[in-house]
Structure 1
Amino acid sequence: MALVTERREKSAAIITFANPPRGYMNAAQVSELGVLIENIETDASVRTVIFTGGVPGVFIRHYDVGDILEAAGAVRKSGFDGDALMEAGKRGNPISQLFDKIDRLSKPTIAAINGYCQGGGFEFALCCDIRVAEEGDYRIGLPETNVGIFPGAGGTQRLPRVIGEAKALELILKGETLPPQEAANVGLVHEFVPVGGALTRALELAENFAAKTPRALAEAKHLVKQAARGPLPEGCAEERGRFSRLLLEDDEALRLMQNFQNGNQDINKA
């Protein structure tokens, strides 16, 4: 079963995440999505890329904690010390490479958030140019500290650029996620729309973008992101290194993640 699917509507490519029953992102999904994005980047007929969730009530719930525990095992068996892991962080990994590719894609990208969008799922959404969230009983944000870790795929670097350092610190340190309307109020997402309306609104935005020249949008996007980015690559490199060091050195983080895996698997109640 494909973990991501693609369809076209006019000049928009709609990519749907499908990893039932929980809707986690995992390494296999990252790999599949990378291939799709490579093809879309060079397809001149695609003017906008829209991402949305295919599991009911879920955009991307969060990154699979089981995968992170496996990564922790690999890190601990690698023989690398903390300094070596910090150097490895500078080289990136498949997740960071995909997220950076989304962030730097020349075409406009829209996250049509139609359900839970947490952890790695929200870090992915932060890479998109526009985030539209529909009304519903779900949460948006970065709850990683609830299971002994911290956002390790760009969240500590991108969120402050979106909502400012003070609010980002509050939400990340508390591991607090927000319902969609409140997420819109504090700036986690750009628009809040009625139930079932995220994809519809994303397609309306895609029509707007299609009426403009691809070069103008690509150049404008590049310049705006460059202005706001500052030392983002260095920041993300340090984040990756510190994340790996935490997996190597912090037994409590592993215990909390293992408890999560063995329990009810609701990251907001970990």
Structure 2
Amino acid sequence: MMLHQGLPTWATLLLISTTAALTLPNYRGLRIDQSRQGVLHIAFNNPDSEINVWGEDALKGLTDIVQRLQNDTETKAILFTSDVPKYFLAHLDVLSQPLDPTISQRSVELFYSLTNLPQVTIGAVNGVARGAGNEFLLSLDMRFAVKSHSRFGQPEIATGYLPGGGAPQYLPRLIGRGRAMEYILTGKDILAEDAERMGWINKAFDSEREMKAYIDDMLKVLTLYSTRAIGLNKNAINVASRPPIANTLADSNAFSESAGRPETQKLLGDFLELTQNLSATDVELYLGESVPLLYNLSAS
């Protein structure tokens, strides 16, 4: 079991309060910080993965947290970060085979529930977010990133899948049909600066300190408002911009059906070989550039 060192010091830039919005238990793979009144800070820290993959611990923990937040009127904003250097959420945990056929559907349902929360949801990224990690971010209200380490992408096509957590529905609404086609069909990465320009993320920053300061200033304003007012405005925007859950569930079903195909299983095995079983190598760090190498393995 790995313990990640050098945790971000977000709390040092937040106004400290002894009042917690709600009482939460400990969750495996999630670090909870409620030191600022009205703000719930959740940091991903998968103890079994050096690249911080999206798996059962995060899925179950966040599902429980979202249920508790639905009727909570004290929490105004939820801030998501990562404790793992260079990785926000790398992608789905595909190390355990066969894949749980329900994990895609349960992730879609969680992501949709996140959009329904009356609180503001914010992702602060300083690392890689691909596949399910990027789809998690797409379900949030706002996304911010540091230019130096942040990369986003949907590499599923390289292993014979389609993104099953919502990217084919959310991305075209954010960046347009043509650009969504480009990034989903090639599986290549997009860097934070380009992601900002296209609307994939809200804003890109030169340093983590600048990003923290910007978000902190925004939280000072957001925590002044009532949860009812925040939820009312979010609902109106959702009507205009959020894809129907039936569409994302259809993609989830197609993702699950792909898992049983022989060519998909072969490519997934090659992917695990290429990434050294999801190790923190340059292949994982620059996966968008590495995925064509899968086809060299498949041809051998």
1:252 aligns with 2:259: no
Scaled by the length of structure 2, what TM-score is found?
0.78
Give the number of the structure with larger relative contact order, counting CA–CA contacts within 8 Å between residues 6 or more apart: 1
Checking the alignment, whether the CA contact within 8 Å between 2:111 and 2:139 is kept in structure 1 is yes
Amino acid in structure 2 at the alignment position of 1:106: P
Separation (CA, whole Å) in 2 of partners of 1:93 and 1:199: 33
Q: Which residue of 2 aligns with 1:36?
A: 65
**1:66 alignment partner, SS class:** coil
**TM-superposition CA deviations, 1:130-171 (whole Å, max 9, x none):** 001112234112121122212101111111111111111111
Checking the alignment, whether the CA contact within 8 Å between 1:99 and 1:127 is kept in structure 2 is yes
Amino acid in structure 2 at the alignment position of 1:243: F
Query: Structure 2: which 5+ runs fail to align?
Result: 1-26, 279-283, 292-300
* Identity within the alignment, %: 24
Amino acid in structure 2 at the alignment position of 1:56: P
Q: Which residue of 2 aligns with 1:80?
A: none
Q: Which residue of 1 aligns with 2:33?
A: 7
User: 248, 257, 262: which is aligned to 2:273?
Assistant: 262
Amino acid in structure 1 at the alignment position of 2:185: L
Q: CA RMSD in A?
A: 2.0
Checking the alignment, whether the CA contact within 8 Å between 1:51 and 1:111 is kept in structure 2 is yes
**2:148 alignment partner, SS class:** coil
1:180 aligns with 2:206: no
Q: CA 1:251–1:199 in 2, change beyond 3 Å: closer, same or farther?
A: farther
Counting only pairs closer than 5 Å after superposition, residues 15-164 of structure 1 correspond to structure 2 as 15-19=42-46, 20-67=49-96, 69-71=97-99, 93-164=105-176
Query: Structure 1: which 5+ runs fail to align?
Result: 76-87
**1:15 alignment partner, SS class:** strand
Q: CA deviation at 1:118?
A: 0.8
**TM-superposition CA deviations, 1:74-132 (whole Å, max 9, x none):** 66xxxxxxxxxxxx99xx83212211111211111001112111110000000000001
**TM-superposition CA deviations, 1:201-255 (whole Å, max 9, x none):** 333222221122322221110111012235x22211211121122122x322211
Q: CA 1:108–1:28 in 2, change beyond 3 Å: closer, same or farther?
A: same
Greater CA drift, 32-41 or 127-136: 32-41
User: 216, 226, 234: which is aligned to 1:213?
Assistant: 226
More helix by share: 1
Q: Which residue of 1 aligns with 2:294?
A: none
**2:50 alignment partner, SS class:** coil
Number of aligned residue pairs: give it. Answer: 251
Q: CA deviation at 1:31?
A: 0.4
Separation (CA, whole Å) in 1 of partners of 2:129 and 2:202: 14
**TM-superposition CA deviations, 1:144-201 (whole Å, max 9, x none):** 1122212101111111111111111111001111111111112110011122133443
